[in-house]
Structure 1
Amino acid sequence: MEAKPPLPPFTLATAIQKVRMAEDAWNSRDPDRVIQVYTEDTIWRNRAEFPSGRQEVHAFLARKWVRELDYRLIKEIWAFLDNKIAVRFAYEWHDDAGQWYRSYGNENWMFNDAGLMMRRHASINDLPISEADRKFFWPLGRRPDDHPGLTDLGL
């Protein structure tokens, strides 16, 4: 099994690093890249969907990014302990009719000894916003290091 550092038990520095790596992967909007950090038998709860295993997660992500256009995500660490990390996040996207949304949520993650995520439990709420209310303006892909995070944006 390939290790995905940083490995548990996490320190504040390694937990922050793990959160940023997850944010970067999700901002790629590439299901092939994203699933590589999950165990083969990963179990998720995402809103009302419960994908399990890399294949189901891949299908879930592919559907997600067909529907959620111009997706930009910011994650921020909330807490950590041993092999667990809790994050809060917000992402902006629009549907094919041009309606913008900001989706807010929390995730609880649990990792194995190799640093692969075994469990991901997400609670998410979608808020319709006007295009003028958007706050995430970097080019698609990785959020620039100098772009404000959630706390700095007042989210």
Structure 2
Amino acid sequence: MSASRPPERVSPLTRDRLAAYLTRRGYRYLIDDDGDLSGTWDGSRFWFLLLGEHSEIVQVRGRWHRTLPTAQRPAMLLAVNDWNRERIWPKVYLREEDGVLALYSEVSIDLENGVTDTQLAQLLACGLGTGVQTFTALDTLLPEP
């Protein structure tokens, strides 16, 4: 017979809890002027954001380290649509920035009722891991010229 552990307590989502997760994992991150946490993984920038009226939504947003010419928009829209249709996470989208296309990944979860440390760790790892996988797949499909 194995001893059961007491259930984890659900606690409100806070920026300090996001930072604690990143610190426990040994990840290097910055806190910007808006108080957002960000870091670089495999050359791409990721943000760990709190959104919503009460900061109850956690979002892991990644921006691919490369940009593409706007002439590639039609092909990239097809690729992004295929990605979003075939996978649950992350949501992927294009944005035009300074005359080029930037590709983003996002995983957003509403945690209005709180979250355990284990759940939060799984959600953050999912957002970061699936974003890195997306960008790695794109690096393979679209080698740099």
Q: TM-score, length-normalised on structure 2? A: 0.31
Higher strand share: 1
Higher helix share: 2
Larger Rg: 2
Q: TM-score, length-normalised on structure 1? A: 0.29
